[in-house]
Amino acid sequence: MMQKTHSANARTAQPRSARPGRVRIGDVAASLGLTKGTVSRALNGYPDIAESTQLRVKRAAEAMGYRPLAHAQAIRTGRVRAMGLIVEIGEYDSHRPFLAEFLAGVTRAAGAESWTLTVATSVSPEDTQTTLARLVDEHKADGFILPRTRWSDPRVDLLRAQGIPFILYGRTADTTGCAWFDILGEDAMRDAAVRLAGQGHRRIAFVNGGSEYNFARVRHEGYLKGLEEAGLPADPALMATDAVTTEDGKAAAERLLRLDLPPTAFVYATDKAALGLYRAAQDLGLRIGSDLSVIGYDGLPEGAFAQPPLTTYSVDTAHAGERLAAMLIERIRGAAPEDLRELAPARLIARGSDGPPALSSEKLATLVRAKEGHIQGRNQ
């Protein structure tokens, strides 16, 4: 019985002793004739190691099945190989469908470098600051992606003061020490104004988003530049701001359509607000695409199902997420922030919501007054 037990133990022990050990960094170094320090720096993307050497080391490590131990790397480099992102759920568009696409892009690029993403939520800008400070103190991330940048952004001030790497999804007033990836919303708004002017519109309104955000500033500048290029005057009466919801967009449209010379075309800084014009037009018996033209921005899925579908400038949010993650890793590895600044264009999706004006501003004003008078009379 004892002999049988011994034989069984021998059978189970043999595979253990024959099983190859974990590939270590020294094994990779020996196979390439390099020092362990050189291999370590190559695997971590240090700029003092030639790109050809980095590529050779990474290929060898992958072929040999080398996997670094996360806790050992953290001790050696001071990094946890994680990037941080705080989603402010109190924002008007925090649950929009393409947030998932953005996160997918971030995690895809992070995973390609064997990094992880730490996501936290907050309910207000103040809560965001508190959460950000906590994540920094607890060293839950080596650097941070800061979405939806503000003109004056306290998140930037906090991270910059503590020397924590970060990258902006957007731009900000003080660019010192800032890396960013952003979409050229200003070019989209300029092109929208020029497009509508080319269709024959002479009264083109602009409905902007939240004035505290940097995107609102650059998109407003783009609209003004488009008017200038089209030879049209900039009329403050045709401009509205702080329209961040569909209800805000509707209210802005109603006010603008009550002008003595209302606009026949609208440029909206966001699709969500632009859909409010559809509601205002329906109430007044006006047709989008003929009586009124509108161009939005974002490529919101709901815009494709509006009647007629909304002409808009679309953003590839998955690609944005990928670039932000990749650039943040470069920043953490020592790249200068001034070398990590990218701008990408938005893509026009031309649909049925814009076209030549069917009415002059004078005739449109007459129709609006008549319709509002009819509504008031019916409600009395």
What residue ranges define each of the domains in the chain, with the CATH number in brackets?
Answer: 22-68 (1.10.260.40), 82-183+317-345 (3.40.50.2300), 185-314+348-379 (3.40.50.2300)
**214-240: per-residue pLDDT in tens?**
999 999 999 999 999 999 999 999 999
pLDDT digits (tens, 9 = 90+) for 310-353: 999 999 999 999 999 999 999 999 999 999 999 999 999 999 99
Mean of pLDDT values over 251-260: 97
- Amino acid identity, residue 322? E
- Check residue 78 and give its pLDDT: 61
pLDDT at 93: 59
In the predicted model, is pLDDT for residue 139 greater than 70? yes
Indicate if the pLDDT at residue 74 is higher than 80: no
> Per-residue confidence at 42, pLDDT binned at 50, 70, 90?
confident
The more confidently predicted of residues 122 and 65 is: 122
pTM metric for this prediction: 0.79
Given a cut of 80, whether residue 367 has pLDDT beyond it is yes
Type of residue at 116: T
High-pLDDT (> 90) share of the chain, %: 73
351-362 average pLDDT score: 97
**Residue 83: predicted pLDDT:** 97
- pLDDT, residue 18, reads 34
The neighbour count for residue 206, using CB atoms within 10 Å, is 27
Structural tokens at position 47: 């700029």
* Per-residue pLDDT at 44: 75
Residue 375 has pLDDT above 60, yes or no: yes
Instruction: Tell me which of 75-79, 284-288, 302-306, 372-376 is least confident.
Output: 75-79
Confidence of residue 57 (pLDDT cuts 50, 70, 90): confident
Q: What is the rounded average pLDDT of the residues 118-141?
A: 94
- pLDDT, one tens digit per residue, over 170-229 is 999 999 999 999 999 999 999 999 999 999 999 999 999 999 999 999 999 999 999 999
More confident residue, 4 or 83: 83
Instruction: Look at residue 142 in the predicted model and tell me its pLDDT.
Output: 96
User: Is it the case that residue 71 has pLDDT exceeding 50?
Assistant: no
